[in-house]
Amino acid sequence: MNHLYNYTLQQADNCLILGQRLGEWCGHGPVLEQDIAMTNISLDLIGQARMLYQYAAEIQGEGKSEDDLAYLRDAWDFKNVLLVEQLNGDFAKTIVRQFLFDSFNCYFYEALKSSNDENLAAIAAKSHKEALYHLKWSGDWVLRLGDGTEESHERIQSALNALWSYSGEIVIPTEADQAGLETGFGVDLNAIKTRRDSKVREVLEEATLTIPESTYSHSGGKEGKHTEYLGYILADLQFLQRAYPGNEW
Amino acid sequence: MNNWPLWEIFIRSKAGLNHKHVGSLHAADADMAIQNARDVYTRRNEGVSIWAVESKYLTASDPDDSDPLYEPAKDKVYRHPTFYNLPDEVKHM
C-alpha cells in the first residue's frame, strides 16, 4: 500500500467527479453568466485532477498516464467522497454541494502548500487560488438563495437538509490521511475540520438557514464504497476510452 | 432572474492600459456583476481589472446627430499628430 499514491488519488478523484458533475450543467445553467461560472469551476477542478493524476501515475511507477487513472479504473477503485457524486438536483442543491466541498477544498490546499512533498505543495499553491474563488462564488450564492425569496430559501434549506449527512466524510481521516499527517506530506484534517466548520456555520447563519442537528455522517467513498450514482457518472465519463481505447482529440 | 438589470463591462487588459468596453451582462447587483464579468470576460486571461456600470446610467449620443457631431472632424487632418516622428520606445500611441 503506497500511502502517498492513495492520498493523491483521493483528492484527484474528488476533483474529477465533482468537475464531471458540474459539467453536466453546461448549456443548462439558470442564466448564461452562471452557466459559464459553473463550467469554469468544472474545468478548474478537472485541471486540478489532471495535475494530481499525473503525479499519482508517476508515484505508481508502472508507466501509466493520467488517462489510465481517470478512464480505466472501476467504481470500487475511486476514492472520492460520496458528497461529490450526488445528483445536481436544482441550482440550490448544486450550490450547497459546491459550498460544502469548497469550504473543505480551500483550507485543504492552503494547508497542503506546506506539504514536505514538493509536488503536492506546488499543486496546492496553484489550486488554492482557484479554490478561494470557488468558495467565494458558492458562499455568495448560499447567501443570496438563503436570504433571498421564500422559494429560494425553501429550496436551499431542503438541499442543505438532504446533503448535510454527506458533508462530514471528507474530514474523516483514512489510513492514507493518517500516514500523510505523520510523515508530513499530508495535512491535519482535524485542524481543517475546525476551520471549515466555523466557515460553514458563519455563512449558513448569515444566510438565515437552519443548520441540521444530525451529526450522522455517510462514509465509504474514500474506501471505494460508493452510492449508485458513481457508476452512471463513470459510464458517461469513461465510455469513449472504453469503446475506443487510446482514442485522442 | 429575468428582471436582473443589464450591466456594461469594462476590462483593463494589463496595468497601464485603459479600461475598454467588452460587452454587457445581467446581474442582480454590483457584486454579482463583477463576478459574472470575471467568469464571462476574463476566462481567457483577458484582464487585470474590471469596471461594471449599470447600463441605465450610460448616456449615448443620438445616431441622428451623427452629421453635425462627427462629419466636421473628418477633413481636419491637421488635428492628427502625424507630422511628428515618434521614437520606437513609445508604445500604445
If you write DSSP's letter for every residue of A91-136 in order, what string do you get? HHHHHHHHHHHHHHHHHHHHHHTT-SSHHHHHHHHHHHHHHHHHHH
Query: What single-letter amino acid sits at A162?
Result: A
For residue B64, pLDDT over 60 is answered with yes
- By the 10 Å C-beta count (0-12 exposed, 13-18 middle, 19+ buried), B80 is classed as exposed
Q: How many degrees, rounded to 5, is the angle at CA A200 between CA A197 and CA A201?
A: 85
Cβ contacts (< 8 Å) between B31 and chain A: which residues? 140
Distance from CA of A37 to the nearest CA of B (A): 5
All structural domains of chain B, each given as residue ranges with its CATH number in brackets, are 6-79 (3.10.20.520)
Residue-wise pLDDT for A53-65, tens only, equals: 999 999 999 999 9
A48-105 residue pLDDT tens: 999 999 999 999 999 999 999 999 999 999 999 999 999 999 999 999 999 999 999 9
| pLDDT at residue number A246 | 86
The three-state DSSP-derived secondary structure of B8-77 is EEEEECCCCCCEEEEEEEECCCHHHHHHHHHHHHCCCCCCCEEEEEEHHHCCCCCHHHHHHHHHHHCCCH
Residues of B in contact with A32 (CB under 8 A): 25-26, 40
* pLDDT recorded at residue B12: 96
pLDDT of residue B78: 81
Percentage with pLDDT > 90 across chain B: 61
Contact at CB, A30 and B1, closer than 8 angstroms: yes
Q: Work out the average pLDDT over B67-87.
A: 83
Cβ contacts from A onto B, under 8 A: 30
The C-alpha R_g of chain B, in whole angstroms, comes to 18
CATH second-level architecture of A3-243?
Up-down Bundle (1.20)
The structural domains of chain A, with segments of one domain joined by +, span: 3-243
Query: Which residue of A40, A140, A144 is in closest CB contact with B39?
Result: A40
Q: What's the pLDDT band for B93 if we cut at 50, 70, 90?
A: low
Question: Which whole number is the average pLDDT over A208-224?
Answer: 95
